[in-house]
Amino acid sequence: MDSCARTGALDVFISLGTDDVVMLAPDQPAVVGKDAVREFYRGSYGTFTIDMRHAPIETHAVGDLVVSRGDGRGTLMPKAGGQPMAFDNKYVMLFRRQADGSLKVWRVAFNSNVPPTPPPAAPKR
C-alpha cells in the first residue's frame, strides 16, 4: 500500500481491496466498494505526492480474517508546489482471505492521532 502511494499507482492500490471493501474515513460517510474508494483517492493521488508509512502495532488472525491495528504517518507534498502537509493517523484494517489464499483489504477505519485545533475563544464583551 505504501509503495502505491509513493508511486501514484492508484489502480494497484485499488486491486489490494475486495470488491465490497468499506472505508471509514474521518468526518465522511462510509465509502463502499472499489469504485467509490477509487473516486475517494483519485483527487489525493492526482494532487499530492504521498509519502506514507504504515506501522502495524498488533496483528491477529481469526479464521479467514486478519485484523491489524497500527499507525500511518507521512507527508502530502502538493504537486503544484507548496509546503508539505504532515499526517499522523491510527488505523484498524481487516483483511479477508480470498479463494486463492491471498489476503485483501475488506474493511478499514482511520483517523488522526493529532487532536483538532480548538476554535478561537469568543471575544469578551
Segment 86-108, tens digit of pLDDT: 999 999 999 999 999 999 999 99
* pLDDT confidence band for 123 (50 / 70 / 90): confident
* pLDDT confidence band for 18 (50 / 70 / 90): very high
Q: With a cut of 90, say whether residue 110 has pLDDT above it.
A: yes
Segment 22-77, tens digit of pLDDT: 999 999 999 999 999 999 999 888 999 999 999 999 999 999 999 999 999 999 99
- Which residue ranges form the domains of the chain, and what is each CATH number? 2-112 (3.10.450.50)
* pLDDT confidence band for 124 (50 / 70 / 90): confident
Beta carbons within 8 Å of 82's beta carbon, 6+ residues apart: none
β-bridge partners, 44: none
Half-sphere exposure of residue 55, counting CA atoms within 13 Å on the CB side?
Answer: 8
